């Protein structure tokens, strides 16, 4: 996701410096070229050698060092960066930045760069809550810096509260988002994901193996492209993607209600959820006791949410369905596309290895209403999601919205 991007990681002196090593590793793994700059205090916690080895680049640490300035000057560093990430950012660094002080390698770069700056604070909870720190943060936010707030929990100083450096995975995701072109900015998007559960007693239900991975990937990639995303999710073990509003539901009826309430305001809706077509006609109030007799459960049909969306589609809205099939993939998918009044359908062959339920990968064919069809190879669900949003963007651009 960060291939070809240059990230300047500024590290200031706090106990969370050791977590910055993991951050370098994550950035490098995503293809970024990383240049690390450390304050003098940061070097007391972890040696520059660690960051040099992980980034494969000389660590900037002394403004007056002939050696590092001759290899790449601090002004070149400032120019080179596509993104500056400050992690951990101490209260002292925030104060210097808010005041425009440039008295070392890092703060000099911060005044000289025109790249976006992401600030990831980490400090003692009282320092974090101090009105001066909060005022400095507001100043930095007003200047356009992105703040990745600290987590809450046990702190190294034996206190509890806000002040832990945000999770490195969240910092990585924020960095990817800053560097992703905002091609869905201003768009409201609704994605459904996961299975539904249809209970026939308090402990037993009818469901399917959907993990939510495909729908969560769609929500995540849309948020990266700066859309306002609402994710209506059936039961799933996955955490909500950063920056996505999640509405959790259990049954098909609840999912339908949650979606139809907000559907008319959406620029695009993607129904990835594996909605149960049937639900038990009755739900026992208590657990049904085991007996040697056969047990029959009468099922009644659930409403077709996508069908209702298609019937009431406002002009310009892009409606995308999925078709999970085990036979006649393209034909069944095309039938659903026409019957449910969709703009796009994603045909998902459940028989392929690594495709469909539960896997991190998927193999789909995207079929447009106009008849255009593209079969994608096996790829990660995030990559599939990117292809789907590319198509939706094309429909927006073609005057669909």
Catalytic residues: 157
Binding-site size, ligand PMT (CB under 6 A): 26
221 binds ligand PMT per the rule CB under 6 A: no
- Closer CB to ligand PMT, 5 or 213, in the complex: 213
- Which positions from 85 through 124 interact with ligand PMT, judged by CB under 6 A? none
396 binds ligand PMT per the rule CB under 6 A: no
257 binds ligand PMT per the rule CB under 6 A: no
306 binds ligand PMT per the rule CB under 6 A: yes
- Closer CB to ligand PMT, 124 or 192, in the complex: 192
- Closer CB to ligand PMT, 42 or 345, in the complex: 345
Identify whether the C-beta of residue 94 lies closer than 8 Å to the C-beta of residue 130.
no
* Angle at 212 (CA atoms; ends 210, 215), nearest 5 degrees: 120
For 9, the token pair is 């990681």
210 binds ligand PMT per the rule CB under 6 A: yes
Q: How far apart are CA 250 and CA 19, in angstroms?
A: 37
Q: Choose the binding region for ligand PMT from 121-129, 288-296, 297-305, 367-375 (rule: CB under 6 A).
A: 297-305
Q: How far apart are CA 325 and CA 271, in angstroms?
A: 15
Pattern 336-365, binding to ligand PMT, x per CB under 6 A? x-----------x-------xxx-------
DSSP notation for 126-167: HHHHSHHHHHHHHHHHHTTPEE-PPEEEE-TTS-EEEEEPPP
367 binds ligand PMT per the rule CB under 6 A: no
249 binds ligand PMT per the rule CB under 6 A: no
Question: What stretch of H or E contains 300?
Answer: strand 299-301
Q: How far apart are CA 398 and CA 401, in angstroms?
A: 8
Q: How far apart are CA 360 and CA 380, in angstroms?
A: 6
322 binds ligand PMT per the rule CB under 6 A: yes
Q: How far apart are CA 61 and CA 375, in angstroms?
A: 51
- Closer CB to ligand PMT, 115 or 342, in the complex: 342
Residue 205 φ then ψ, to 5°: -150, 165
Nearest by Cα to 150 from 104, 210, 88, 208? 88
214 binds ligand PMT per the rule CB under 6 A: yes
For 51, the token pair is 């960051």
Nearest by Cα to 324 from 302, 339, 345, 299? 345
Nearest by Cα to 76 from 45, 51, 112? 112
Q: How far is the CB of 173 from ligand PMT (least distance, A)?
A: 19
Identify whether the C-beta of residue 390 lies closer than 8 Å to the C-beta of residue 397.
no
Identify whether the C-beta of residue 252 lies closer than 8 Å to the C-beta of residue 276.
yes
- Closer CB to ligand PMT, 198 or 267, in the complex: 198
277 binds ligand PMT per the rule CB under 6 A: yes
Q: Choose the binding region for ligand PMT from 77-85, 165-173, 176-184, 272-280 (rule: CB under 6 A).
A: 272-280
Q: How far is the CB of 340 from ligand PMT (least distance, A)?
A: 7
319 binds ligand PMT per the rule CB under 6 A: no
Residues near ligand PMT, by CB under 6 A: 194, 210-214, 252, 271-275, 277, 302, 304-306, 321-324, 336, 348, 356-358
């Amino acid at each position: 996701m960060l291939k070809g991007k240059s990230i300047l990681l500024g590290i200031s002196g706090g106990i969370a410096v050791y977590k910055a090593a993991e951050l370098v590793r994550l950035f490098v793994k995503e293809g970024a070229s990383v240049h690390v700059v450390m304050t003098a205090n940061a070097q007391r916690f972890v040696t520059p050698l660690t960051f040099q080895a992980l980034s494969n680049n000389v660590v900037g640490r002394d403004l007056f060092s002939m050696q590092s300035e001759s290899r790449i000057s601090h002004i070149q560093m400032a120019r080179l960066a596509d993104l500056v990430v400050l992690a951990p950012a101490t209260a002292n660094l925030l104060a210097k930045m808010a005041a425009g002080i440039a008295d070392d390698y890092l703060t000099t770069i911060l005044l000289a760069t025109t790249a976006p700056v992401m600030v990831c604070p980490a400090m003692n909870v009282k320092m974090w809550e101090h009105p001066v720190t909060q005022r400095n943060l507001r100043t930095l936010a007003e200047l356009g810096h992105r703040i990745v707030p600290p987590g809450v929990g046990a702190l190294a100083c034996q206190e509890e509260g806000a002040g832990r450096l945000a999770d490195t995975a969240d910092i990585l995701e924020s960095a990817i988002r800053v560097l992703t072109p905002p091609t869905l900015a201003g768009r409201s998007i609704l994605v459904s994901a996961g299975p539904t559960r249809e209970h026939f007693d308090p402990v037993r239900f009818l469901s399917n193996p959907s993990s939510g991975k495909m729908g969560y990937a769609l929500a995540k990639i849309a948020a990266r492209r700066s859309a306002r995303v609402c994710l209506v999710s059936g039961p799933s073990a996955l955490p909500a993607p950063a920056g996505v509003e999640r509405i959790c539901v259990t049954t098909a009826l609840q999912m339908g209600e949650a979606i139809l309430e907000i559907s008319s305001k959406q620029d695009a809706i993607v129904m990835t959820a594996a909605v149960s077509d049937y639900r038990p006609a009755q739900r026992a109030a208590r657990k049904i006791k085991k007996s040697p007799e056969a047990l029959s459960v009468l099922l009644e049909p659930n409403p077709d949410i996508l069908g209702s969306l298609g019937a009431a589609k406002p002009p310009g809205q892009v409606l995308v369905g999925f078709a999970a099939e085990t036979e006649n993939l393209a034909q069944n998918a095309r039938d659903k596309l026409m019957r449910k009044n969709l703009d796009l359908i994603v045909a998902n062959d459940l028989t392929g290895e690594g495709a469909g339920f539960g896997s991190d990968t998927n193999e789909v064919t995207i079929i447009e209403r106009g008849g255009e069809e593209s079969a994608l190879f096996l790829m990660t669900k995030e990559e599939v999601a990117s292809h789907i949003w590319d198509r939706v963007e094309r429909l927006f651009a073609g005057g669909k919205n």
